[in-house]
Structure 1
């Protein structure tokens, strides 16, 4: 390979790593946004459901640091740094792939674990402050009631957060209409919280998968370019 070809690949790889560094920041931002969105419902979610955005944040941080290694190795035309950069990219790629496969394989288990967690927490609503706050927060923000619907709550024990405000300016705890309301009444949220929480988790999973695939494609290009330049540098030496 001629020297001009080596320089061409070198600067292409340098520009690639600038883009790669930005993609690392994008991974961190997306991971933080998804974690913030789903994290407030972590009480009902098994740890493995929360793990993907955390892994994405960690991967983004590593990508950002590794990008500088790639830039330095490209400018210095250092064979060992370039190969080290390619190996690190490959490791990050494998980790992202493993997380994606695990999320797809255990999707059904996640849902069952989440439903079981909701059932356990519902039974402790009046005994545990944590469970009570978690359920009230869930039902208020997602405008839902119970796991599958309002009838999941025991008779005369339905929380006020299952209902819209009865009158303007009134605080729901002051009103007993919610406990007496029948399914189908306008005052009562008719949707169950499990489906809404599952939809939120799946929506965020699609975002993570989309971003992950995009970054993985960029990583493969980086691996090819760094190996190409490393071989060229070795021949030049």
Structure 2
């Protein structure tokens, strides 16, 4: 390979790794946003749901470090460092693939498990402060009531967080009014919380999946470029 061609590949890989390092920061930011969004309702979430954004954050940190290794290896024209860089990219790619497959496999289990967790938590509402705080926070933030509907709550045990001021200037509903409210009453949230929290989890998974697919394509290009440059360096020095 001519020196000019080798130089082009070298600086192409260097430029790629700069973009790759920036993408690593992007992965960290995306994972953090997803974790903060879903983690707010972690009381109802299993570790399977919270694990992907954590893995994404860790992967972003590793990607940033690996990109730095790739930049250094390209500039130094080090065969060993470039092959180590390619191997690291391959490992990251496999981890991302495994996380994606696990998310797809646990999708149905999550649907069933989430509803069971919410119903169990509802049963403990009167006796557990953590469950009480979690439900009040969920119903206020998501503007919902009960698991599937407001009638999931036992009579005269519906939390005040199920109710809201129906219009500007209307009086704040009290506990008695919230208890007596029937489905369709303007002070009562009509939608159940299960669909809303599941949709939030699904939207978060879509973000993770989109970021993961985008980075996977970038990683494949990086592996090809690194191996190509390493091969050219080895031929030149042999």
TM-score normalised according to structure 2 size: 0.96
Instruction: Give 3-state SS (helix, strand or coil) of 1:189's partner.
Output: coil
C-alpha displacement at 1:171, in angstroms?
5.5
Instruction: Give 3-state SS (helix, strand or coil) of 1:236's partner.
Output: helix
Instruction: Give 3-state SS (helix, strand or coil) of 2:218's partner.
Output: helix
Output one character per residue of 1:67-117: Cα deviation in whole Å (capped at 9) or x when no partner.
Answer: 000000000000000000000000000000100111011101011111111
- Counterparts of 1:143-222 in structure 2, within 5 Å, are 143-165=143-165, 168=169, 172=173, 174-222=174-222
C-alpha displacement at 1:141, in angstroms?
0.5
Aligned 8 A contact 2:164 2:172 in 1: no
Output one character per residue of 1:192-215: Cα deviation in whole Å (capped at 9) or x when no partner.
Answer: 000000111111111111111111
Q: Distance in 1 between matches of 2:157 and 2:171?
A: 20
Q: Distance in 2 between matches of 1:46 and 1:130?
A: 16
Output one character per residue of 1:4-24: Cα deviation in whole Å (capped at 9) or x when no partner.
Answer: 111110000000000000000
1:43 paired to 2:51: no
Runs of 4+ in 1 over 3 A off after TM superposition: 166-172
Q: Distance in 2 between matches of 1:8 and 1:141?
A: 54
Q: Which residue of 2 aligns with 1:229?
A: 229
1:31 paired to 2:69: no
Q: Distance in 2 between matches of 1:168 and 1:92?
A: 56
TM-score normalised according to structure 1 size: 0.97
1:69 paired to 2:69: yes
Q: Which residue of 1 aligns with 2:111?
A: 111
Aligned 8 A contact 2:159 2:175 in 1: no
C-alpha displacement at 1:126, in angstroms?
1.1
Q: Which residue of 2 aligns with 1:124?
A: 124
For structure 1, the 5+ residue unaligned runs are none
Instruction: Give 3-state SS (helix, strand or coil) of 1:190's partner.
Output: coil
Q: Distance in 1 between matches of 2:23 and 2:112?
A: 34
Output one character per residue of 1:168-194: Cα deviation in whole Å (capped at 9) or x when no partner.
Answer: 58665x441111001111111110000
For structure 2, the 5+ residue unaligned runs are none
Q: Distance in 2 between matches of 1:28 and 1:112?
A: 30
Q: Distance in 1 between matches of 2:155 and 2:128?
A: 19
